[in-house]
A and B are shown apart, each in its own frame.
Chain A
C-alpha cells in the first residue's frame, strides 16, 4: 500500500521552503527567497499556507526600522517532513 504524499508538502516551492528550514534554526524571508529564487508574492502565499497547516512559525518584527519576517519549522512540520520522506522512499523503492 502506498502512503498518500502530503499535498501540503508535495508542491515544489513549499517543499523547498520546508527543506531549507529543516537545516537551520530559523531563516529570514529574504534568505528563503534568495535560495529558492521564487518571487516575493508567490513565496508569501506558500509561506502562509505552510503556516496555516501549522508546519512553520512566522514572526514579523522590525529590525533597524525595516520589517523583517522570520520563519522557523515547528515540531509538527518536522514530523510531516519525515513522513513525507518516508512515503517518498516507498515510491522510489518500487520505481527503482
Chain B
C-alpha cells in the first residue's frame, strides 16, 4: 500500500465519500488476512492415504495379522500438527472469525475421531469404521470449503457423502481403498490446488 492513512484531527474536511472509500479499503484488507493453510490438508491427506493403502497391502497381499498397526502413526501426526500450529500461532498477527470457526470445527472433528477410535477398539464397529470416517472428512472439508469459499473442497466434501453411503456395501479391506479415494478427492487434490492458488496470489 502506498497511501498512508493520516490522522486528520480536524476531520471535518474529509468527506463522507472519502470515509466510505477508507472503510471499504480497510475491510478488503482484512479479507486477505484469512490465512488458509494447505499444510493440514496435505499432511493429513497423504498420511491417511498412505496408511489406507499400506494396511490394504498388508491385509490382502501379505495376510499380515497386525495390519491395523499402521494407525499408530495417527498420534504422531497429532503431535506434528500440534507443534506446527503452535509455531504458526506465534507468527500470526491477526485472527479472523473464519480462522477461529475453522479451528473449532477441526478440533470437534478431531475429538469425534478420538471417540470413534475408542468405539472401534471396544466393539466390532471397526467393520464399518470407514463409512463414518468418510462422513467426518466430508463434514470437515465441506464446511471449510464454504467458509473459505474454495470450491474444490466443497466438491470433495459432497463426493465424500456419496462415498460414505457407497462404502457400507463393502467389506473392511475394500473400505480401506474407498477411504483412500475419499481422502484423495477431499484432502489431497484440494490441498494441492489450494497451495497452487496461494503461491500464485503471492507472486
Residues of A within 8 A of B (CB): 5, 7, 10-16, 19-20, 22-28, 30-31, 34-38, 42, 45-46, 63-64, 85, 88, 91-92, 95
Across the interface, name the chain B residue whose C-beta is closest to A35: B29
Q: Are B4 and A38 in contact (CB under 8 A)?
A: yes
Please tell me which one of the listed residues B7, B20, B22 contacts residue A42 in the complex, with CB atoms under 8 A apart: B7
Q: Are B29 and A37 in contact (CB under 8 A)?
A: no
Q: In angstroms, how far is the closest chain A Cβ from the Cβ of B3?
A: 7
Q: Are A37 and B94 in contact (CB under 8 A)?
A: no
Q: Are B5 and A38 in contact (CB under 8 A)?
A: yes
Q: Are B23 and A14 in contact (CB under 8 A)?
A: no
Please tell me which one of the listed residues B1, B8, B17, B96 contacts residue A12 in the complex, with CB atoms under 8 A apart: B8
Q: How many residues of B contact A (CB 8 A)?
A: 32
Q: In angstroms, how far is the closest chain A Cβ from the Cβ of B89?
A: 10
Bound form: Cα–Cα A38–B6 in Å:
7
Q: Which 7 A-B pairs have the closest CB atoms?
A: A23-B30, A19-B26, A31-B93, A27-B94, A13-B7, A91-B16, A36-B5
Q: Are B16 and A31 in contact (CB under 8 A)?
A: no
* Chain A binding surface SS class: helix
Q: Are B17 and A92 in contact (CB under 8 A)?
A: yes
Q: Which residues of A contact B96 (CB under 8 A)?
A: 23-25
Bound form: Cα–Cα A13–B7 in Å:
5
Q: Which residues of B contact A31 (CB under 8 A)?
A: 33, 93-94
Bound form: Cα–Cα A30–B33 in Å:
13
Residues of B within 8 A of A (CB): 1, 3-9, 11-12, 14, 16-20, 22-23, 26-27, 29-31, 33, 90, 93-97, 99-100
Q: In angstroms, how far is the closest chain A Cβ from the Cβ of B103?
A: 11
Q: Are A25 and B95 in contact (CB under 8 A)?
A: yes
User: Of residues B6, B90, B97, which shows the largest number of chain A Cβ atoms within 10 Å of its Cβ?
Assistant: B6
Q: In angstroms, how far is the closest chain B Cβ from the Cβ of A77?
A: 14
Q: Which residues of A contact B26 (CB under 8 A)?
A: 16, 19-20, 23, 35-36
A and B contact pairs by CB, cutoff 8 A, 15 listed: A5-B16, A10-B11, A19-B23, A19-B27, A23-B30, A24-B30, A24-B33, A24-B95, A27-B93, A31-B33, A35-B26, A35-B29, A35-B30, A38-B6, A88-B16
Q: Are B14 and A12 in contact (CB under 8 A)?
A: yes
Q: Are B3 and A25 in contact (CB under 8 A)?
A: no
Please tell me which one of the listed residues B6, B19, B27 contacts residue A23 in the complex, with CB atoms under 8 A apart: B27
Q: In angstroms, how far is the closest chain B Cβ from the Cβ of A78?
A: 13
